[in-house]
Amino acid sequence: MPVMNMVTAVNAALRQEMRRDDRVVVLGEDVGVNGGVFRATEGLYQEFGGERVIDTPLTESGIVGAAVGMALYGLRPVPEIQFLDFIYPAFDQVVSEMAKYRYRSGGQYTCPVVLRTPYGGGVRGGHYHSQSTEAYFCHTPGLVVIVPSTPYDTKGLLTAALRGEDPVIFLEPKRLYRATKDEVPDDDYVVPIGKARTVREGSHLTLICYGAMVPVAEEAAAKAAEHDVEVEVIDLRTLVPLDVDAIIESVKKTGRVVILHEAAKTGGFGGEIAALIAERAVDSLEAPIVRVAGYDTPFPYTLEHLYMPDVARVSDAIKKVVEYH
């Protein structure tokens, strides 16, 4: 079985689906001849040509608007926005058009756009290349929001997204693009959308995370085990739809919760998870829910190592929650 990093897993999923279904079209800035800023589309132009791998002008609203039109006329477009931070000129196309067509047409039309974009910090990109604003899209009914953390899940979830009928925001943690490797089957497989993954089982505390924070959570859980604290790590994988059952089942087992994400704390998706737990499992809680997140500031360039949650901050939160009486 081949070993892939996340970039090659994205490439493998796109290549597989483009060979399988000639309706799949890739478009975006530099995705063609150059293979994308992170080389996730490398080689696709050479195999499928300029009619299916389209280098666009530098216009995010045009990229997403064109993708919406393609989808309504029967294609299955995969637009790439080079960085999540650049998506805002296309925000109206995403939340007012892409997300709404199925509802506004009473189900007569679907809009199967899979919008790929790297998100988050950890590569010294500065405040215009490092933001984690997934909560904006989770707040928009009609969108599926996926955040993989491993190459295996990346290929399987992207394949599932490309075969679905709903518009998807597919957020790729650029910090993990080449930092993680995994065995990824060449064979056709999908990872179900809306199903969380239990990364590590435990009985003392539930640590909920996604994307680039999953390896941080794993390391913090391993350190906690050295002090006889068994942490259950839940990788959400999909934020919308959310695997509510997996979250509540784990919380009822452990009674203690830490929520971890890279995005700023205020208005972050962790608040939604905390509210969900309070509504459905408050009687199981033995301590307050603690969130570990980015700070409520613009993403700093020189101090990104202080802004991003690390093992030390997560370990402090675990200790605080476990010792609460």
Phi, psi of 29 (to 5 degrees): -75, 120
- In the block, tokens 């000129």 appear at 89
At CA 1, angle to CA 215 and CA 122, rounded to 5? 25
Return d(Cα 258, Cα 285) in angstroms, integer.
12
CB atoms inside a 10 Å sphere around CB 157: 25
Tokens (6 digits) for 299: 């993403």
Return d(Cα 78, Cα 112) in angstroms, integer.
9
The continuous run of DSSP H or E covering 78 comes out as strand 76-80
- Whether residue 159 contacts residue 106, with contact meaning beta carbons closer than 8 Å, is answered with no
Q: What is the CA radius of gyration of the chain?
A: 20
Short-list 2, 62, 3, 4, CA closest to 29: 62
Which strands form 231-235's sheet, in the order they lie side by side? 197-200, 231-235, 205-209, 257-264, 290-294
Tokens (6 digits) for 272: 């939604």
Per the residue annotation, which of 129, 139, 204, 305 is the catalytic one? 129
CB atoms inside a 10 Å sphere around CB 319: 13
The continuous run of DSSP H or E covering 19 comes out as helix 6-20
Return d(Cα 148, Cα 139) in angstroms, integer.
19
129 is catalytic: yes
Return d(Cα 228, Cα 226) in angstroms, integer.
6
Q: Which residues are catalytic?
A: 129
